[in-house]
Chains A and B, each alone.
Chain A
Amino acid sequence: NAGVMQNPRHLVRRRGQEARLRCSPMKGHSHVYWYRQLPEEGLKFMVYLQKENIIDESGMPKERFSAEFPKEGPSILRIQQVVRGDSAAYFCASSPVRGGLSGDTQYFGPGTRLTVL
């Protein structure tokens, strides 16, 4: 059973270009989360999606960032007109359908390291 897959692992973009980050959740998982990690810091939540629905995007910057999780295919985090401050590691996590009050473990992918020149 493959884990969470992310690609590309490394992405270099020039200022003003677009970055597309992909995430394939673990088999059987219908919940996807995106987090951003700046150097020497913890992860910061960006967005939580289920198939075809954005459930919580409270951590997403208001401009230039968007996310989707279509019925078929991977989840996509899209950053338009990238700036140097977007340079970070972007992690995707997935979890199965929640069972009860206890919540579910989130399983993380290896991340995409975005560098904006």
Chain B
Amino acid sequence: SQQGEEDPQALSIQEGENATMNCSYKTSINNLQWYRQNSGRGLVHLILIRSNEREKHSGRLRVTLDTSKKSSSLLITASRAADTASYFCATDTGRRALTFGSGTRLQVQP
């Protein structure tokens, strides 16, 4: 499989629940970034976690990074209908070109 694969591919939850998305990658990285994309729109940067960091928070977002397992997770707490979007992880191996996974499509039901 390619660098930066998200799991699950699709996730449907009720408003107020937490949403967890996972990302696995193959090679060593400098950092890993999470992006959100609303349907038909551009990407919005959510959070960047460096290879020497294990956890990062930003508002309702919590990102973890386990370099030994080559995996990351994005947790959205107390989800809202407005969180409905596709979420992508992207890895930077030092080449500066980001490698994206195919994304997790999150649907938050009001």
The answer on a CB contact under 8 Å between B4 and A42 is yes
Chain B 29-72, CB-CB to A under 8 Å as 1, else 0, gives: 01101010000111111001010000000000000000000000
The answer on a CB contact under 8 Å between B50 and A108 is no
Interface centre among B41, B88, B98, B102 (most CB of A within 10 A): B98
The answer on a CB contact under 8 Å between A43 and B100 is yes
The answer on a CB contact under 8 Å between B97 and A58 is yes
Complex interface: chain A residues within 8 A of B99 (CB): 45
The answer on a CB contact under 8 Å between B50 and A102 is yes
Complex interface: chain A residues within 8 A of B33 (CB): 105-106
Range of interface residues on A (Cβ < 8 Å): 20 to 34
Question: In the docked arrangement, what's the CA distance between A63 and B105, Å?
Answer: 33
Q: How far is the CB of B54 from chain A (nearest CB, A)?
A: 15
The answer on a CB contact under 8 Å between B43 and A103 is no
Q: How far is the CB of A7 from chain B (nearest CB, A)?
A: 13
Question: In the docked arrangement, what's the CA distance between A31 and B92, Å?
Answer: 15
Q: Which positions 68-103 of chain B face chain A at CB distance < 8 Å?
A: 88, 90, 92, 94-103
The answer on a CB contact under 8 Å between B45 and A108 is yes
Chain A 43-73, CB-CB to B under 8 Å as 1, else 0, gives: 1110010000001101100000000000000
Residues of chain A whose beta carbon lies under 8 Å from any beta carbon of chain B: 31, 33, 35, 40-45, 48, 55-56, 58-59, 91, 93, 95, 98, 101-103, 105-111, 113
